[in-house]
Structure formats: C-alpha cells, structure tokens
Chains A and B, each alone.
Chain A
Amino acid sequence: MKQNKVIIIGGGSAGLACAIALREKGIQDILLLEKENELGGILNQCIHNGFGLHMYKKEYTGPMYAQHHIDRFMELQIPYIIDATVLDISEDKIVTVSEPKGIYSIQAEVIVLAMGARERTRGNIQIPGDRCVGVWTAGNAQKYLNMDGYLVGKRIFILGSGDIGLIMARRLSLAKAKVVGVAEIMPYSNGLTRNIVQCLHDFDIPLYLSHTITQIKGDGRVEGITLCQVDENRQPMFETAKHFGVDTVLLSVGLIPDNVLSEKAKVSLDLKTKGPLVDSELMTSTPGIFACGNVLHIHDLVDHVSMEGILVASSIIKYFEDQDSLDLIPVKSKGFLNYVLPQSINPKSDTVLLKYRVSKPMTKGFLRIICNDQVLLKIPKVDLHPSEMQSFNLTKVILDKINSNVIVELSDE
C-alpha cells in the first residue's frame, strides 16, 4: 500500500493554506487530493470582490484570493492530484481514492479533512409543489454563470438573504435577469449591510423579511411561486399568500459541512455545527485526523478558513512531536450562542481561539468564560449578528486557570 505522512482532502482555501503552512514548517511528505479538475475550490466561482481583508488588508476577488494560494502551493512543489475523489476513509486512516489513473488505498499518518460544505437543497427545507426545472441552489446557478457562462433563468426569485443569495441577486441583475425579490424566513437579513446596499438597493430588489416560499408551480419549467409571511415560530401564515410569476427559484438557505467521509472514518460530529467535534488543536475524535474550513463549521470569511488551515498545520507538527493524549477539557456554550468551537480544550494548546456564533442579533452583550462556577473573564461585546462568526483568544494566563469544564456564556447583562 502507498503511504503518506499527511493526506489533505480538498484543495480549496482550507486545504491549500494547510498544505502551504505544513511545507513551510518543513513537512515534505504531503499529498493533497482534489476532486475537481483544478485547485482553488469554491472561490473560483466567487468572482466578486471582498476577500482577504483580514489576511491581506486587500479586497481580492475569490479567484484572486485562490490564485495567490495556488501560486504559493505550486512554488513549494507540494504533490497533489486533481480529479481525485476520496471514496472512503477508514478509522485507521486508510484513504481510498479514485482518479483517472486508478483506484487505490493510501495509508496516512495524518489526515486533514478540508472538504468544505454543500448547499442546503429544496428537499432539505421541503418546499412543496411541482417537480419542474428552474429550482437551483444559488451556488449551482453561480457555477453555471461564472464558470461556464450560462444564465439559468430570466425572472428569478431568491429564497434566503445570506451573502451568497445577495451576491447572486446582483450578479444575475448584471446578467440582465430580473430578480423579482429576495425572501428571508428570519426577521433580519443574514447578509452584510454592504451586500444589502450594493446587491439589492442598487437594483431596486425588494427584500421580504419573515417570509418563505410555500409552493412552487410549473409544468415542465417553474411558472410561479407562492410567498407567505411566517409567524414567530417560522410557520407560514397561509392567509398572507402572495403569488409571483417567475421562471426560476434560487435557494440560498445555508451551507452544511460536507462530512460524509468524516462519518465513514467514524469521526464524531457536533449536531449544532454539523462538523467534527474538535479539540483546541482542531483534532477530531480520531487521533491524527484534523479538520479545518467549512467542513468543520460554516465560515462567513475565507480569511478565517485559511487561518484554520494554518492552525491545523501547527497542530500537526505538535502531533508528530508528541502523540501522548492528555485529558481534554470540555467546552460548553450557554445563553444566546448557537455554538462554540472547539468543543474541548487540549492542555497542550498555548492559546485557544474560541469561535462562536450568536443565536440572535444583539446590539450589546457580555461574553463570560466560566470554570468551576467562577467567571474567569467577562468581555463586553457590541453589534453581534448570527451571520458573523465571532472569535476570542484565550491566552495562556486564562488557560492556566482552567482545570475542568469550561462554560462560554453570552448574555445581555
């Protein structure tokens, strides 16, 4: 059987950053596997700008951001295979890959899960109606338009006001499609203000907050949708039904970390993040398997994805030096938090970057780090929004005080 010290699954932002950092730290035996026919991942189709503000203090487009990483990756001559689909990962870190040269297994010492995410579909959110052509996820329509140069429809309704939905509203308008409206089931938008302004206001596209699509109609092709207002439990109020004649519905209703392979490797998953449970070294429940990027949890900024890849590279170096497993300290979330990552602290970590998402928009709040019923830290926070991942660095000073279960709490007082 072939062997590799580190196998990285996925050549998107997370995988590339991790591979580059590993090589820069002197790890020679790396193999990166990419299922598409080129490196770069989903960034290649995100042709708009706004990437890299944190990492590079510049506003790159998606392909530019990817290109910088690809160029560095090539410069370092890191081995990789494109058109290489990983079919299986076993618990003992045997990776089975299919590519045009054959199908084979490789024994890895370390595996980095960097497979990214997939989009939630119509079936996931169960929109009833006809099974006609004209319903796509926003990312799929984006791929048709930006990579292949084809528009999927002329009159379009978008469900979901996350950034992908907003960006697509603008992109489609520029491609001369009529975006009839954008609906959001929550009472607030999940996109950045700048995208609301530049993607919706610029093109006079109405945003329907607290609304959802309750039916899609069409014989062969989508002909129209029914839009309903929702109550506070997000249930449609059918008496508010409005009808729109459109030929296309785009769904931008969230991403799901793509953990099919992780499950095959028997890696434990978090029901909230839908990604692997990791310690502060970003190591999963299977020693030697690490995770970074959207496969771990959904990010809103690619910069944070790259930084996670780099963090995993450092953790791998530590793992090679010392594989003794120490008792992990569980981290739990409390209050207005959707989740906190990592789910446990590894005593080996010198610092721990806590990442979290709030469960509702808050103009101000207080983050508390609690251990043994003692508040170790209380940090005031302003302008918190569920669509923006927050982070906080636990320094050595604080970590030294942590000896049992940690609670991360967000409250409004």
Chain B
Amino acid sequence: MFDIIIIGAGIVGCNLAYQLSLTNLKVLVLEKNAEILNEVSSANSGIIHTGYDPKDDTLKALLNVKGAALTKELCEYFQVPFLQCGSMVVAHDDKEIDMLKALQIKAAQRKIPCELLSQEILRQKEPHIADSVIKALFFPTTGVIIPWELGYALMDNACFNGVTLKNSEAVIAVEKKSSYIVKTPKSSYEAKMVINCTGLYGDKVARLAQADYPINLIYKKGEYQVTDKTDASYLNHILFPLPTEKGKGVLAVKTVEGNLLFGPNSNIVEDPTHQDTTSIGLAEVNSRIHEIIKPLPQNRMIRQFAGIRPGSPTKDFIIENHEKWVNVIGIDSPGLASSPAIAQYVIEQFVQPEFHPETLNRELYIHPKPLLLMSLDERNALIKTNPNYGKIVCLCEDVSTQEVINAIHSPCSTRSIKGIKRRVRPGSGRCQGGFCESKIVDILSKELNIPKQQVLYDNDNTSFLTPMEDLYETK
C-alpha cells in the first residue's frame, strides 16, 4: 500500500515526486512511456516565463510567478543550468507599443522587473532583430532551462530518496474502495491518494476514477525549428511577439546548449498522440519568425519537432481534489515555469491536510555535471579515475562514454536511445546521431546486458535491429 500514487512523470510529476520524497510518505510514480518527461515536458521552448502574461486572479498568474522563482532555486540546488538571458516582447507599430505599455503596467503590479527599450538600445542588445521592430519591452529575469535536465535531476533525487518509479506502465483502470486500486497491464497498485498529472491524457485518466468527469482538454500543437549551434551568437535574448489569444506566438530562443529554437505556431488538433510536423506548419514558423528576427545567413536547420499542449476550457490550470483523487489538468504554457509551484500547491492544499507528513532531511544526489561545462583540469581529474571520461562518444555535443554509462545507471535509470539523447545529448547535435547512434546502442547493450536487437530507440515497441544471422535460412 502506497500513500500516494502519482500518475504521469512529466515535469509536474517529477516535481511532485521530488517534493513528496522529502517527506515520510510512501510514493509510487507510474509512467506509461519507457522514459520519463517524454511528451509535453520534452517538446516545449524551455523558457522560464516571469509571469507577466497570465490574466489576473488565475492559478496561472499565481503559480507562474512563484514557480519561476522556485525553478531558479532548484536549478542552483541541483547544479543544473538556468540561463538567465532575459527576454524582449517586440512591437512593430503604435498600436503594439500601446499593448507593450499595458503589459509593462501589469508586470509592475506583479513586481516583475521590466524596461521599455528604444530602437537604438534594443538594436544594440539584439543586432539581428527584425528591421520592422520599433520598440521592445525587456524582461531581464526571464530564463531558459533544459527541461529534461531539471526533470531528471528531480526524479533522480526522488528515486534516490526512496520513491518508486515504474516506467512502461500505463494506467488502464482504477477501482475505488476505501483506497484506490490503480491497474496497469503488468500489475495493480493500491494507494490512499492518487494524483493525476498525465498531461495530454489528464481528462481521460480522470474519467477512470470518475466516469462523468466533465472536462475535455483542448489540444494545441506547436511546431519548432532547431538550428545548428554554429548560429548561437546570432541571438542574445528570447524574442517574443506580443501575446495573442492563440498564445505567446512564434518566438526565438537560444537553448542552454546554444541552438536557436524558432516556434511554435499553434493549431488546434483532435489527436493528442499524433505529434507530427507538417509542411504547412513548418512553412508558417519559417515565415513568421522573420517578424522578429532577420533571416539567418545560411539555412542550418538540424531538426524540426512538434509538441502538443493540453489546454483547459477555462484557459487556466485546473487543480482539484475529489475524494483524495487529485486532478492536475490543463497544464499548458506556462506549465514548465509553474511546475514546482504546482507541486507545492497540490501538497499544501491536499496532501498536508490529509497526511500531515513529516519532513525528512535528505541527502542531495548530485546530478553529474556535463563534461562540456567543466574546465580541462576538472575533466582530467575525472579521466584519471576512469578513462571512459576521455573517450568522446559524441563529437557534436562533446559527450564522453562514461557520461552515457552514468545516465544508464542513475537512480531513475535510462534505457533508450532517446532517453540517453535527452539526458546527455548524443544525437541532439548537427549529425543527429549519424556518428554516435550505433555507439550508444553498443553501450546500452553492454550496460543493460541485452542483445542489440533489444535496445530501444524510444518506447517499448521501438527496438530496430535484426542480426544478420537471422536473415539467411542457415539453421
């Protein structure tokens, strides 16, 4: 019997697991994918919004401002990168300047630092901003994180502190007795309380416990372009158009790693499982990005991806408790920035009154720092302890063999190529795995002690190799 089952290991689930792991409660996390952070949490802009955008008196407004501050603290604590690069919302005409001024007032009310920049200053700060931009509102505290870097640090620590994580276990049925029985195809688990933070599937999972659950999520797909890191110096800040009803618009952001990310567009879709890019969508991103930034001298796109965001009909986060079944629903933008505050809110509102848990002193599991961010001396010290730190497996992203091995054996373990790519980056660079993928297969096969034909690319149905000896009928 568990005290709490968390369904879904997206960024909200990871924050919840971590915060609950600091208590004496017995916690289980069920994740349907082979890897945590596999859907909404991995396909977004990685921006820690300051909180100027959400409407007054919404959960979004409350939790975004709080969550942004908490995210920064968490990143410092876990020693994962938080790049406070600042953001600019840009205006192209007088009408948009008026909107910037309104935004400025709202930001001031929420004590978010900001400053209106003149043409001259904004061009000094951002030389490649589009010619049509005439003014910008500058938010110096906006930052960017690697969403899965923080997510894995949270879950590694949660597991290190004793939380149980079960990957590849989708919840298919729920039974309510005095407690909840949560069933997956592999097993069933009992808990006093369940927290449903299943992102795109939040409404459907809610209906497993409450058949007439009335809310239907609205799915918005956003498509992105990723450039080669060579273009890193082209952009200094996050650039936003003015927000509209559809969202924050096609923006430009430099990732912590140094790639430029352009997007997202925003289109309502029916099917949350179909995260595909389209030629129309990519064309839209390619053209709208030039409303804020000048075209790059060379087309050096290395990847396109799409993310789907689960929006609620109220346009606000929905966080509610019904007979110890907690729904955390409609966590679209600014969900990433709000996530630590969402977890805190759930615990304060629903967990504490029910369990009155004890807070425990937990040791920190230090998430290994990427070699890329170390000095040569630091790297040499590591190589002395283990030569695999000197053996580079991914040239594009400067990743050593040992970092891959460490990720595989971390407290919340990683067992797919995609998981390795998220955790330690091989395959996310300009060769997109062309040079390193087969080496990652070798390492996974060796470390997990499985034949190569069982190595997963992503989820459980994604092994992809057939040995030559099985091809010819020789036996």
Contact = CB atoms under 8 A, between A and B. Distances in A.
Interface string B387-409: 11011100110101000000000
Contacts of A144: 438, 465
B468 A151 contact: yes
A48 interface: no
Interface in A355-373: none
B127 to A, nearest CB: 20
B472 A176 contact: yes
A220 B461 contact: yes
B432 interface: yes
Contacts of A131: 275-276, 305-306
B458 interface: yes
B464 A129 contact: no
6 contacts: A83-B391, A87-B392, A98-B400, A118-B431, A124-B302, A133-B464
A216 to B, nearest CB: 8
Given A176-B471, A260-B230, A101 B383 contact: yes
Interface of A: 35, 83, 85, 87, 96, 98-105, 118-119, 121-124, 126, 128-134, 136-137, 139-140, 143-145, 147-154, 175-176, 214-215, 217, 219-221, 236, 260, 263, 271
Give the secondary structure class of B's interface: mixed
B390 A99 contact: yes
A152 B230 contact: no
Nearest to B432: A121
B434 A119 contact: yes
Contact of A150 (B226, B277, B452, B461): B452
Interface residues of B, number: 57
Contact of A143 (B276, B391, B438, B467): B438
A140 B434 CA distance: 6
Contact of A149 (B383, B390, B392, B467): B467
Given A101-B390, A260-B430, A85 B395 contact: yes
A150 B466 contact: yes
B276 A126 contact: no
A144 B452 CA distance: 11
A136 B392 CA distance: 22
Contacts of B433: 140
Nearest to B371: A98
Most buried by A among B303, B390, B472: B390
A96 B398 CA distance: 12
A322 B467 CA distance: 56
B379 interface: yes
Interface in B254-282: 273-279, 281-282
Contacts of B459: 220
B395 A35 contact: yes
B462 interface: yes
A51 B317 CA distance: 63
B392 A85 contact: yes
Contacts of B274: 130, 219
Nearest to B306: A131
Contacts of B276: 128-131, 217
Interface in B341-391: 376, 379-380, 383-384, 387-388, 390-391
A331 to B, nearest CB: 22
A264 to B, nearest CB: 10
A219 B461 CA distance: 9
B301 interface: yes
A126 B301 contact: yes
B304 A126 contact: yes
Contact of A100 (B390, B395, B430, B467): B390
B434 A118 contact: yes
A19 B380 CA distance: 29
B298 interface: yes
A281 B387 CA distance: 39
A151 B463 CA distance: 12
Contact of A263 (B226, B230, B388): B230
A38 to B, nearest CB: 13
Most buried by B among A35, A102, A132, A219: A102
Nearest to A121: B432
Interface string B433-475: 1110110011000000000110001110110111111011000
Contacts of B471: 151, 175-176
A98 B467 contact: no
Most buried by A among B302, B306, B376: B376
A103 B377 CA distance: 8
Contacts of B279: 128, 214-215, 236
Contact of B434 (A83, A139, A147, A154): A139
B465 A123 contact: no
A151 B230 contact: no
Contacts of A105: 376
Contacts of B278: 128, 215
Interface in B271-316: 273-279, 281-282, 298, 301-306
A123 B383 contact: no
A133 B346 CA distance: 37
Given A35-B395, A100-B383, A129-B276, A124 B301 contact: yes
Nearest to A271: B298
Given A137-B434, A149-B469, A175-B471, 8 more contacts: A85-B395, A99-B390, A124-B301, A145-B468, A147-B438, A152-B464, A215-B278, A271-B298
Most buried by A among B376, B384, B434, B467: B434
Most buried by A among B273, B278, B388, B391: B391
A397 B83 CA distance: 61
A151 B392 CA distance: 26
